A and B are shown apart, each in its own frame.
Chain A
Amino acid sequence: ELKVEQNPLFLSMQEGKNYTIYCNYSTTSDRLYWYRQDPGKSLESLFVLLSNGAVKQEGRLMASLDTKARLSTLHITAAVHDLSATYFCAVDKNNNDMRFGAGTRLTVKP
């Protein structure tokens, strides 16, 4: 059974600091997704990582994937308040059957 674990579940950061969110999954998959959800809103796609060693960057966010370790990271550089949201990673079972992590609620404080 595919399990997806994120940590930390809650993260409070100061503006300007760096931090990393971790996403571990239990069985082989060839792609991993990161989504963002603002409070009371829907989810929007941030990154899709397709292969081992894949790295994608958008602004202050950078995601990477290590399929051998079954680990993805979402690195936040010089955090700003606008990044406050809940971040989810998700993995599919090599079909359309998706499993999401529990989410990391990020709060960036001035």
Chain B
Amino acid sequence: NAGVTQTPKFQVLKTGQSMTLQCAQDMNHNSMYWYRQDPGMGLRLIYYSASEGTTDKGEVPNGYNVSRLNKREFSLRLESAAPSQTSVYFCASSEGRGTGSYNEQFFGPGTRLTVL
């Protein structure tokens, strides 16, 4: 089992460029998440998908869009990148609330994004 995988690992963009971060999990989890991590601020939830076919905004959704492509895959898109979006992005998955599980999250290795 690969767990949660993310691509790319590193990316440099110029202001105004667009890109999509890819995430996939092979644990048959229902729920998936996108976070950003900035120094001194912990992790902040951008969007989450409680189950296939649903997506919801988290704490900091502005400037991002997401697609839950199927149960395995959850992508994050930056339509017009800004320097304020320079961060480390983590994808995570969990069994989901209401499944009787602990709902602990399993994290991918992260994508380090720099916007110039």
Contacts and interface: CB of A to CB of B under 8 A. Distances in A.
A33 interface: yes
Interface in B35-53: 35, 40-45, 48, 50
B42 A43 contact: no
Interface stretch (A11-19, A58-66, A67-75, A99-107): A99-107
Contacts of B58: 97-98
Given A33-B104, A95-B50, A100 B97 contact: no
A104 B103 CA distance: 23
Contacts of B75: none
Interface residues of B, number: 28
Contacts of A98: 33, 45, 48, 58, 105
Interface of B: 31, 33, 35, 40-45, 48, 50, 56, 58-59, 90, 92, 94, 96-97, 102-110
Given A42-B107, A45-B106, A92-B97, 7 more contacts: A33-B104, A42-B90, A42-B110, A48-B103, A88-B43, A98-B58, A100-B44
